Structure 1
Amino acid sequence: MRCGSSILADFLICSRFATRLPIPAPAAEAGPHGPTDLARALRLLPAAGGLIGGLAAGVLVAGASLGLPPQLAAALAVGLLILVSGALHEDGLADCADGFGGGVTRQQKLEIMRDSRIGAFGTLALALTLYLRIAAIAAIAEQSLHLASAALVAAAALSRAAALLPLGLLSPARSSGLGFSAGKIGADALRVALPLAVLFALAPLAAGAGLARPLLSVVAVLVAALAFAAFAKREIGGHTGDVAGASQQLGEVIVYLIYAAGA
């Protein structure tokens, strides 16, 4: 019973962190988004991602049922993803693009990433990923609305496991901020999060996808996350919350492209 309560508490903490949804704080939460609670609760980040992806799939289906063309329904689904997460991951992608692209020294890159203003690299990165996400989801939906819905769930969960890899493999690059609060998550959290993400990644099987694309998406997302973690270590010496956000965005795009190519 205690184990079930712990899992539910971690899911609520993780969902409160990952979304803007009005989720009540569990009784076991020591403080809002406290570092200790968050570090443990992140093991269920893929489950919180599955919830977000399910909401986006509902918007996609609703748009299609209203007669909207796939491109518009896909745009609404992506808009829901951004709205529910508070653009947390998009902000990380833009900051990483600006910092890694515009900085010369490690300190300059970290300063640029902390700046709330967006530069040319960040703008271009956001524009490209938004286009790829909408276009790929639309391409999948044109072939199968059920597959597109399942791909949204799979991508949302798997990409959030990708966001955890830099947090598990690298030390914080600075002594403050979201990345520092999360710290370097333990192997125990990854041992739960990664298999959980794989289960969500298999969701498209229920929509008629073969086994090859789910497996390919798992491998491709993990390899991309590992490569980006190595890149972040070279650029800034560790992880930040922005690095985790950029890893999520990269993983999400990869999943959509794999299913769009199959479509």
Structure 2
Amino acid sequence: MRYQLELFFTALGFFTRLPVPAWVPWSAERLNHAARYFPLVGWVVGAIGAAAYLACVLVLPPMPAVILSMAVTIRATGALHEDGWADACDGLGGGRDKAQMLAIMKDSRIGSYGAIGIVLMLMAKAAALFELGAGDEADAALALLVAHPLSRLASTALLHLLPYVREDDTAKARPLARRLSAPELAIAASCGLLPLALLAPAEALGAALAAVLAAAWSARLFLRRLGGCTGDLLGAAQQAAELACYLGILAAWNYT
């Protein structure tokens, strides 16, 4: 049990800026096995976002509350996945071949595709969360609690299914680049899917289907353009799946 707790804290320390206990050892091998808890890290990030939103909406209108809650989650994760989305937009949008796309994504500078992509992504998430909280603030909070773990499960699934295409050992996601074992997949799936129980059946179905579609679309795009994934592409997949979860819940509302 202690080893599993250490793996969770390893994942938390890698995927967020949150402090972890000093007694937790770190190694590339432990990080290699910590991917099973990527969706569980989403529980923490989602809870932070939901708490920030519910606290802000007590004293602010809904839209500023949504934006501030998003800012809090971005601060908690160090904009890790948002940065991946921007880099992916730049690389896939501006690169002509695999080598050029990989080079663009490794460049710390942001280009037109990345700037436009991150603005549109943040606007879309803010608009979706605003609509989710328009009737009842609790609905937006529940959506955050569900979307963060589920979107990280989608990213973990791509990590498991797709080959890692960066060959340099300096890549931050290189230690994670391996297929998960069946028990590890079961843990990741349980952590990612369990929060769906917080939603009504139609909402849960909408969120799950939307996340699956986002993951499938991402996998097809990454394979077609690059032949696999990178850390930036996994972050982009998480962002796409998170937005898809919010939209899936809204679609379920409209349908029912």
TM-score (normalizing by structure 2)? 0.93
What amino acid does structure 1 have at the position aligned with 2:110? I
Q: CA separation in 1, counterparts of 2:80 and 2:55?
A: 25
1:55-70 correspondence to structure 2 within 5 Å: 55-66=48-59, 68-70=60-62
1:29-178 correspondence to structure 2 within 5 Å: 29=25, 31=26, 34-66=27-59, 68-176=60-168, 177-178=171-172
Residue 22 (structure 1) aligns with:
19
Q: CA separation in 1, counterparts of 2:22 and 2:201?
A: 38
Q: CA separation in 1, counterparts of 2:129 and 2:117?
A: 18
Residue 230 (structure 2) aligns with:
240
Q: Is the 8 A contact 2:87 2:232 kept in 1?
A: yes
Residue 212 (structure 1) aligns with:
202
Q: CA separation in 1, counterparts of 2:81 and 2:187?
A: 22
Q: Is the 8 A contact 1:173 1:237 kept in 2?
A: yes
Query: Is 1:13 aligned to 2:10, yes or no?
Result: yes
How far is the alpha carbon of 1:223 from its aligned partner? 2.7
1:21-58 CA distances to partner (integer Å, 9 max, x unpaired)? 1122444x3x3xx3321121111111111111101111
Unmatched tracts of structure 1, length 5 or more? none
Which SS does the other structure have where 1:142 is aligned?
coil
Aligned counterpart in structure 1 of residue 241 of structure 2, from 240, 251, 257: 251
How far is the alpha carbon of 1:6 from its aligned partner? 2.5
Q: CA separation in 1, counterparts of 2:52 and 2:191?
A: 24
Q: Is the 8 A contact 1:172 1:179 kept in 2?
A: no
How far is the alpha carbon of 1:179 from its aligned partner? 2.9
Going from structure 1 to structure 2, the CA distance change for 1:242 and 1:104 (only over 3 Å counts) comes to same
How far is the alpha carbon of 1:218 from its aligned partner? 1.4
Unmatched tracts of structure 2, length 5 or more? none
What amino acid does structure 2 have at the position aligned with 1:211? P
Q: Is the 8 A contact 1:50 1:157 kept in 2?
A: yes
Once structures 1 and 2 are overlaid, which stretch shifts more, 149-158 or 253-262? 253-262
Residue 185 (structure 1) aligns with:
179
Q: Is the 8 A contact 1:137 1:260 kept in 2?
A: no
Considering only aligned residues, what root-mean-square deviation do their CA atoms show, in Å? 1.5
Q: CA separation in 1, counterparts of 2:31 and 2:22?
A: 12
What amino acid does structure 1 have at the position aligned with 2:46? G
What amino acid does structure 2 have at the position aligned with 1:39? N
TM-score (normalizing by structure 1)? 0.90
What amino acid does structure 2 have at the position aligned with 1:202? A
Residue 212 (structure 2) aligns with:
222
Q: CA separation in 2, counterparts of 1:216 and 1:35?
A: 37
Which SS does the other structure have where 2:165 is aligned?
coil
How far is the alpha carbon of 1:87 from its aligned partner? 0.5
Q: Is the 8 A contact 2:210 2:247 kept in 1?
A: no
Identity of aligned pairs, percent? 35
Aligned counterpart in structure 2 of residue 197 of structure 1, from 192, 202, 213: 192
What amino acid does structure 1 have at the position aligned with 2:250? A
Q: CA separation in 1, counterparts of 2:147 and 2:17?
A: 19
